[in-house]
Amino acid sequence: MVVDNNDSTEAGTGVGSGRSLLDEIVRDGAGQMLAAALQAEVAEYVVRHAGDIDENGHQMVVRNSYHAEREVMTAAGR
């Protein structure tokens, strides 16, 4: 199988950009897997500490909400 890095219909991913549609698909998939892993880790942490109670009877570890979405830069790209 031959993959042409310049064969893309996505805006900004064509000739000269060095990114192919396949690269974008892989990057999106990796991002989704990372997000799922982080969500699972947070959920496990909250469950593990569900019994931690302060002197007033309140849970010490709770999930309040979500932070604003942001881009993360790695060696592989955004």
In a domain, 5, yes or no: no
pLDDT tens digits, residue range 51-75?
999 999 999 998 877 778 888 888 8
CA 22 to CA 28: how far, in whole Å?
Answer: 10
In a domain, 76, yes or no: no
In a domain, 70, yes or no: no
Looking at residue 10, what is its pLDDT? 46
Instruction: Read off the pLDDT of each residue in 38-62 and give the average, rounded to a whole number.
Output: 92
Q: Are 61 and 45 within 8 A, CB to CB?
A: yes
In a domain, 32, yes or no: yes
Phi-psi region of 77 (alpha: psi -120 to 50; beta: other; left: phi over 0): left
Looking at residue 13, what is its pLDDT? 46
Give the rounded distance of the alpha carbon of 68 from its chain centre.
Answer: 13
- Tokens standing for 19? 């990114």
In a domain, 73, yes or no: no
58: domain range?
A: 17-62
Choice among 11-20, 40-49, 62-71 with the minimum mean pLDDT? 11-20
The model's pTM: 0.54
* Residue bearing the bigger pLDDT, 69 or 39: 39
In a domain, 52, yes or no: yes
| Mean pLDDT score of the chain | 79
How many domains does the chain divide into? 1
Contacts of residue 54, Cβ cutoff 8 Å, sequence gap at least 6? 60
CA 70 to CA 8: how far, in whole Å?
Answer: 26
